[in-house]
A and B are shown apart, each in its own frame.
Chain A
């Protein structure tokens, strides 16, 4: 069974640009969530999607958005990039997103904003 796949693995952008990251969950998983990891702030929850609907949202500005498609694949978008957006962006999936359910993470997309 294939794991969670994130593309691209690395990305370099400049300030003011926008970026779209992609995540393919494990087959059969309907919940997809996104996380940002930086050395200073650690792992922070961005948002979670279930059946194409955003179900949970973290404390990030509106420049960060996402969506989920009918096949459970998800994308996240960051507009008007800032230097502080440089981070490892991780996607995770699970079947239902129930409490205590195990999450499966991808290897992430390393975004560098210059």
Chain B
């Protein structure tokens, strides 16, 4: 069974808020949820990480409900430059030096 499930692709327009949901039904008690962003021909970049409730930084917010079986990455007021692939990693998918990436969500932001 896949550790995480994300939509394969999403479309949005500049200025909108984008929410990408990741399902992780088998998340373990000690697992954190981590998101990476990747632009074409570049390495992934860490966006945000959380364990429960809500985490916010200068780039995004991460919402985690009480049961922790899903999480939502929220990008406020997206621009064209937010067009990228977004990966959700949970638990053993994020062993520090060893990351297990799924297929990610390809976000396309249009003018």
Contacts and interface: CB of A to CB of B under 8 A. Distances in A.
Interface of A: 4, 31-33, 35, 42-45, 48, 50, 55-56, 58, 88, 90-92, 94, 96-108, 110
Contacts, number: 75
Nearest to A94: B96
A26 B29 CA distance: 32
B44 A43 contact: yes
Contacts of B103: 42
A68 B100 CA distance: 22
B10 interface: no
Contacts of B111: none
Interface residues of B, number: 21
Nearest to A92: B43
B41 interface: yes
A73 to B, nearest CB: 15
Nearest to B42: A107
A58 B107 CA distance: 28
B97 A97 contact: yes
Given A35-B99, A103-B46, A107-B41, 6 more contacts: A48-B98, A92-B97, A97-B98, A99-B96, A103-B96, A108-B42
